[in-house]
Chain A
Amino acid sequence: MDKTTCIVVGAGPAGSACALSLARKGIDTVLLERGRTPGEKKVSSFVLLMTELRRLIPDWEKDLPVERNIIRTDQAIFNGTDIKMITSYNYDKLKNPVYFSAFRRKFDEWFAKKAKEAGAELITGMTVTDLIMDNGRVVGVKIDDEELYADIVVGADGYHTKVGEKAGLVTEWDPARARLAVKEVLDLPPEVINERFQLSDGQGCDMGIIPYHFGELSIRSSTLYTNKDSISLAVFAHLGELKEKNIKLHDELEKFKEHPFIHKFIKGATLREYQAHIIPHGGRVNPENLYGDGVLLCGEAGGTTDTASGMGVPTCMTAGLMAAETIALAVKKKDFSADTLKNYLKFLDSTSILDMIYESKKTSDYWVDKGKLERPDCMAAIADSYNQYWNADYMSKDYHPLFLNLYLRVGKFFAPKLIRMIVTPILKGYSFYEKTVEKIKRKIRRRFYEWKKQYDN
């Protein structure tokens, strides 16, 4: 009977961070991965945030497999005929890189290798099919046809978690709380990318696109970012809405690619790889269900991703590190029951992860209940507020309000002081009237919201 102290299921950012940290603490760890190499099962719209990793692996600069240093982030809002862009450059990031575009296949392999070098045993090409239970305690895992025993099992095996499911910790599989992503990696020569995105060598751009007023989906987002010699384009939509409206997301992606704004970036590119993935809403698991007798959950399995910002890799890494801290404590106490593992929540609370889980749950609730209705309106308001610059008709005489017009024309150019003395008080009176009406309106509105708040509670 093979027995070890800790089994970590899944060599993604959470699992590898956990195994790396455990191995550094000198705890026997087996890291299991169902892919033949780590990362080959994973699809991300992957822009790597360095803050966590930098602390974990200080000499990352030597061999971290990255594509481009992201120094520019764009937000584009589609509104029917117009597109609004907010572009932000940060030239500080040339010296102190924070974001990188990268491929998960290479990154996950690199990260798992670091865990292996620290002393963890990495086994690939093995799928966990079941847990071995003893009186409600998790004591090991079944891998394909073999069995492996351990004091504690960490489930970091992604959205369709076997560990969480079999231990009875993950019960929610609600399609309304999951998004489908369809992604394409498109080949383009580096010079062409540099020219189209206005970048220099090694610099990258990450573009968030909100296609309001495009197609029939109300909640949908998209991202486009640069790799060394390719562009990644992904479209996300809620499973529930796709089902409701009977829309194929991959057809939407094709339509999207033909939009002139997108087409100018990807013109002439050939498809390198076609991908699809489920993106969970964060906060899927109640924090009380993140631990059990002999088992901990982290990463997508435990819902430690951020719904609001869409950030997954750094938050999962942090959760993995906190799982490792909890296990180190359990090893010290030689007690792997839920009572000791409860400290996981304390460790998570010492970071911002626990708050993030609650916030993500709230955000997720919002999407499910009201997001579908409210988001299009919000986007319309933002887009329309820019529209006034396009639609203002300065040539037309009736553009200015009547009184102001009168004052400008009569007061400034023709009328003597006397007329101005008559007109000015009228104007002031008019504005006084406007202000009073506005004040009353504001009061009513505030009362309404107070009432609504009470009503909602």
Chain B
Amino acid sequence: MSGKNSMTVDEKMSTVKIKIDKEAHITVNKELCKNCTDRPCLIICAAENYKWDEKSDDLVFNYEGCLECGACRLICPLNAISWSYPKHGCGVKFRFG
């Protein structure tokens, strides 16, 4: 991050209220990701939920911190990400949308 006063994404995410669902609303076919050259999901997610683990050479994602924009679903070149609205009234709760 640039600048002295700027917050990290994790700090910013602490301002967002999220009710966590037991059931994941994002599922990823990780086999496809290994052959993906661009991996645009890593840069497009505003909550930085997608990370590439170099050690295990695997995609790591965290559906719990989702802001529900669904950009990952649109941007995935291999359609590996299936994304749907969270159920049971769970997920993000914007107070000042």
Contacts and interface: CB of A to CB of B under 8 A. Distances in A.
Nearest to A107: B97
Contacts of B15: 271-274
Contacts of A40: 92-95, 97
Interface in A235-255: 239, 242-243, 246-251, 254-255
B55 to A, nearest CB: 23
A271 B70 CA distance: 23
A41 B16 CA distance: 12
Given A273-B15, A274-B13, A180 B46 contact: yes
B87 A160 contact: no
A150 to B, nearest CB: 20
A162 to B, nearest CB: 7
Contacts of A258: 2-3, 5-6
A411 interface: no
A178 interface: yes
Interface string A96-136: 00000001110000000000000000001111010000000
A185 B3 contact: no
A129 B74 contact: no
B44 interface: yes
Interface stretch (A14-22, A81-89, A275-283, A304-312): A275-283
A246 B43 contact: yes
A346 interface: no
A271 B9 CA distance: 12
Interface string A35-64: 110011111101000000000000000000
Interface stretch (B28-36, B56-64, B78-86): B78-86
A159 to B, nearest CB: 7
Contact of A278 (B2, B7, B74): B74
5 contacts: A173-B74, A175-B75, A272-B96, A274-B16, A278-B74
Interface of B: 1-3, 5-7, 9, 12-13, 15-16, 19, 38, 40, 43-44, 46-48, 67-71, 73-75, 83-89, 91-97
Interface of A: 34-36, 39-44, 46, 103-105, 124-127, 129, 144, 157, 159-160, 162, 173-175, 178, 180-182, 184-185, 227, 230, 232, 239, 242-243, 246-251, 254-255, 257-258, 271-278
The 10 closest A-B pairs by CB, nearest first: A125-B89, A276-B46, A274-B12, A104-B97, A276-B67, A243-B40, A36-B89, A175-B74, A185-B96, A276-B69
Given A250-B48, A258-B6, 8 more contacts: A40-B97, A126-B89, A162-B85, A175-B75, A184-B12, A249-B46, A255-B3, A278-B69
